[in-house]
Amino acid sequence: MNQVGLVGRLTKDPVLRQLSRNRVQSHFSLAINRNYKNSRGEVETDFILCTVWGKLADHIVKFCGKGSLIGINGRIQSRSFMNEHSTKIYMTEVVVEDVRFYRLKQPDNDGSTLPPSSSVEQEIIKDFVLPKKELQLPVV
């Protein structure tokens, strides 16, 4: 079984890409805090690359901006491609099949948030912070 569920914050505003045959797609990365602190007392963060297609991509791009807290369900996919230097690049990403919006920050906005809709969602986000470091992803 190939199934994954994650809750994290978007590291930047997602962008919708128009593809052939009226298909739309978006890439984004989620910052996900680990459940423990390292030897320096800091919470470490993982950055997970995600891909989403169709109406789900439309909704994420429309409603989510950098810092939005979302939950995703999907599957892990590995792929490879040749870069401009003829080097084979391998990638692992999550293909998003379902999304839950917990706390949204509008794209290109003043940082205002929409409140979580339940006490369960409030518990999930209580201790969640966006890391101070930005992830620099290679352009694909």
pLDDT in tens, 23-77: 999 999 999 999 889 999 999 999 999 999 999 999 999 999 999 999 999 999 9
Q: Global pTM? A: 0.72
**Would the pLDDT of 126 be above 80?**
no
DSSP string, 57-103: HHHHHHH--TT-EEEEEEEEEEEEEE-TTS-EEEEEEEEEEEEEEEE
**Would the pLDDT of 137 be above 50?**
no
* Second-level CATH architecture of 4-107: Beta Barrel (2.40)
| 78 vs 123: which has the higher pLDDT | 78
Amino acid in position 74: G
Residue 127, Ramachandran bin (φ over 0: left; ψ between -120 and 50: alpha; else beta) = alpha
The full set of domain ranges for the chain reads 4-107
pLDDT of residue 134: 46
Range of lowest pLDDT (10-14, 15-19, 57-61, 102-106): 102-106
Average pLDDT of every residue of the chain? 83
pLDDT of residue 135: 45
